[in-house]
């Protein structure tokens, strides 16, 4: 009996140490990302398995304001206003889960940064729960503009290991991301939910319709993304 109790205690200590380590990693690394340009978990996974990773880091002020507005209005229209988590969208997601309705997605850009930097991609409730405190912490530590810069440079943007807006733009259109017009910027933005399937270079009719909606929204409400502009404003 004593031996069994000792074994249980050892297991609990190991589990506790693992939890402390998992908490310590984002707590320590997030402040470092104020000045260090990070790589994502999917990028690390590809490096470790010998698959190509194509990524060129680009300063946020050297990326088209149309791209930034399109991404914000497509992925997280409240990005400049919330504290890392859109509570209204998250509450609706919880209600859908409890009612057994299909998930609609409530991940903010900051939650996506948290997932890409510290978690895993397989969708499950545990990951979603972990995303919330991580996103709040990231939003507390990093300025909005830096969060957006990291997002635009680590998001997966193509099926052959293209990460970040530079690789995504060059792969799809053969252009630098500062040279995109409204059409190409919106097409690049709506690729993000599923870059392994959606192809902005050869968009389906459905993708073109979604991109047109995002373009109109970004043209009309682009000022909502002003927090990621050079001086708190975007030149659209």
What integer pLDDT is reported at residue 6 of this predicted model? 60
Q: Which range has the worst mean pLDDT, 19-23, 25-29, 31-35, 80-84?
A: 19-23
Instruction: For residue range 11-21, list pLDDT tens digits in order.
Output: 656 555 555 56
| Angle (CA) 157 115 15, round 5° | 145
What are the distances in angstroms from CA 219 to CA 72, 110, 211? 12, 23, 12
What distance in Å separates the CA atoms of residue 118 and residue 23, rounded to the nearest whole number? 10
pLDDT at 36 over 90: yes
pTM, entire model: 0.87
What integer pLDDT is reported at residue 127 of this predicted model? 83
Nearest in space to 142 (alpha carbons), one of 165, 166, 109, 168: 109
Please give the structure tokens belonging to residue 172.
């799809």
Q: How many CA atoms lie within 13 A of 122 on its CB side?
A: 2
Instruction: For residue range 184-233, list pLDDT tens digits in order.
Output: 999 999 999 899 899 999 999 999 999 999 999 999 998 889 999 887 77
What integer pLDDT is reported at residue 94 of this predicted model? 47
What integer pLDDT is reported at residue 98 of this predicted model? 45
What distance in Å separates the CA atoms of residue 200 and residue 192, rounded to the nearest whole number? 10
């Amino acid at each position: 009996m004593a031996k069994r109790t000792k074994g249980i205690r050892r297991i609990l200590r190991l589990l506790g140490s693992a939890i402390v380590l998992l908490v310590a990693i984002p707590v320590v690394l997030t402040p470092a990302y104020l000045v260090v340009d990070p790589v994502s978990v999917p990028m690390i996974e590809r490096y470790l398995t010998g698959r190509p990773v194509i990524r060129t880091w680009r300063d946020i002020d050297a990326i088209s304001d149309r791209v930034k507005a399109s991404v914000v209005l497509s992925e997280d229209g409240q990005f400049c206003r919330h504290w890392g988590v859109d509570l209204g969208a998250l509450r609706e997601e919880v209600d859908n889960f409890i009612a057994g309705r299909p998930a609609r997605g409530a991940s903010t850009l900051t939650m996506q940064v948290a997932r890409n930097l510290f978690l895993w991609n397989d969708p499950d409730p545990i990951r979603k729960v972990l995303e919330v405190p991580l996103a709040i912490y990231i939003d507390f530590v990093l300025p909005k503009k830096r969060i957006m810069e990291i997002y635009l440079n680590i998001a997966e943007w193509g099926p052959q290991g293209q990460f970040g807006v530079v690789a995504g733009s060059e792969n799809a259109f053969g252009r630098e991301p500062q040279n995109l017009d409204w059409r190409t910027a919106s097409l690049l933005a709506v690729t993000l939910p599923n870059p392994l399937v959606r192809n902005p270079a050869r968009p389906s009719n459905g993708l073109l319709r979604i991109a047109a909606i995002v373009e109109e929204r970004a043209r009309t409400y682009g000022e909502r993304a002003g927090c990621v502009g050079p001086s708190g404003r975007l030149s659209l």
